[in-house]
Amino acid sequence: MIGQLKQWDRDLFIYLNGLGIERFDDFWIFVTQEQTWIPLYILFFALVIISHSGKNIIIGILSFLASFAVSFGVTRVIKATIARVRPNNVTEFKDVIRILQEPSYYSFVSGHTSTSVAISTFLVLMLRKRWKWIYIIYLWPILFATSRIYVGVHYPGDILGGAIVGLICAIIVYLLYKKLIDTKLKYPGNS
């Protein structure tokens, strides 16, 4: 069963990666770079800050950062444990797939996906009652994750695994954040 799933994952990767069109390469390379999204990260910080007041700003910021840090850490542990070779490093794929980047660290799970899903989910959970439009930030992890297949460095299973890890980490961090905020509201003198 595992072997069949891996084969389907490889076949789907080859198919999706093969849909790439050379004239869009620069766009997807731009999308896949973390530094491209710096203005978005600044916007996220601003949203956290303006949605909190007083000492809750610190709780909001630290929780936001924790959503990234926890998902990043869990992802690194999974990558080191599973040790799945990236498609761009599979010799038999060299003439079959489009490779636009060549990272060498392990593939499963996608760190780009896990951290972007974690950050987005945490923000949605935190801000959904204040701003209904916040769900639009899920476009970021969708683009980010898609770019990883396009540039030839992740299988679809890596993306799915990363999304699951990010979602779980975000929910856990949000529950802790909520507990801190609720406790602080009940006992404002305990700062």
pTM (2 decimals)?
0.87
Q: What is the pLDDT of residue 70?
A: 97
> Would 148 be classed as within a structural domain?
yes
Q: What is the pLDDT of residue 14?
A: 84
Tens of pLDDT along 78-130? 999 998 988 888 888 888 788 878 887 888 999 999 999 999 999 999 999 99
How far, in Å, CA of 123 to CA of 143, rounded? 17
In a 13 Å sphere around the CA of 182, the CA atoms on its Cβ side amount to 7
Computed over every residue of the chain, the mean pLDDT equals 90
Give how many domains the chain has, as a whole number: 1
141 compared with 90, residue with greater pLDDT: 141
- CATH number, position 137: 1.20.144
> Would 164 be classed as within a structural domain?
yes
Q: Assign 191 a pLDDT band (cuts: 50, 70, 90).
A: very low
Q: DSSP letter string over 35-54?
A: GGGHHHHHHHHHHHHHT--T
> Would 191 be classed as within a structural domain?
no
Average pLDDT over residues 144-165: 94
The CA-based diameter of the chain, rounded to the nearest angstrom, is 65
> Would 29 be classed as within a structural domain?
yes
Q: What is the pLDDT of residue 190?
A: 46
